[in-house]
A and B are shown apart, each in its own frame.
Chain A
Amino acid sequence: MARLGDRIAEGLVFLAGGAAVLFVALILIFLLREGLPLVRYYSPIPFLTGAEWYPLSGVFGILPLVLGSLLVTAGAVAIALPLGLAVAIYLAEVAPAWIKDVLKPTIELLAGIPSVLLGFVGYAVVATVVKNVFGLPTGLTALTGSIMLAYMALPTIISIADDAIRAVPDDFRHASYALGATRWQTIRAVTVPAAASGILAAIMLGIGRAIGETMTVWMVTGNAAVIPTTILQPVRTMTATIAAEMGETARGSDHYAALFAVGIVLFVMTALINTGADLVLHRMKKKYE
Chain B
Amino acid sequence: MSSRTTEKAAFLIMALCALLVVLPVIGIVAYVVAKGAPAISWEFVSAMPKRGMKAGGIFPAIWGTTLLVVGTAVFSVPLGIGAAVYLSEYAPDNRLTKIIRMAIVNLAGIPSVVYGLFGLGLFVVFLGFGTSLLAGSLTLAVLVLPVIITTAEEAIRAVPQDYRYASLALGATKWQTVRYQVLPHGLPGTLTGVVLALGRAAGETAPILFTAAAFFLPRLPTSPFDQVMALPYHLFVIATQVPKMPESLQYGTALVLLALVVIAYAAATAIRMRLRRR
Contacts and interface: CB of A to CB of B under 8 A. Distances in A.
Interface of A: 2-3, 5-6, 9-10, 12-21, 23-24, 26-27, 30-31, 33-34, 82-83, 86-87, 89-91, 94-95, 99, 102-103, 105-110, 112-121, 123-125, 151, 154, 158, 182-185, 187-188, 205, 208-209, 211-215, 219, 239, 242-243, 246-247, 251, 259-260, 263, 266-267, 270-271, 273-275, 278
The secondary-structure label for the interface of chain B is helix
A278 B118 contact: no
A266 B135 CA distance: 22
A205 B126 CA distance: 32
Contact of B205 (A95, A114, A182, A246): A114
Given A6-B176, A14-B90, A208 B205 contact: no
B79 interface: yes
A242 B117 contact: yes
B242 interface: no
Interface residues of B, number: 91
Contacts of B264: 112
Contact of B114 (A31, A95, A118): A31
A16 B79 contact: yes
Contacts, number: 274
A6 B102 contact: no
B126 A30 contact: yes
A70 B196 CA distance: 30
A2 B171 CA distance: 13
B7 interface: yes
A275 B22 contact: no
A20 B210 contact: no
Contacts of A158: 21
Interface stretch (B49-57, B159-167, B232-240): B232-240
Contact of A103 (B3, B18, B118, B125): B18
19 contacts: A2-B173, A6-B173, A20-B103, A20-B149, A27-B110, A31-B121, A99-B15, A99-B18, A105-B269, A106-B26, A113-B28, A114-B202, A116-B235, A117-B232, A121-B28, A154-B21, A215-B236, A239-B111, A246-B116
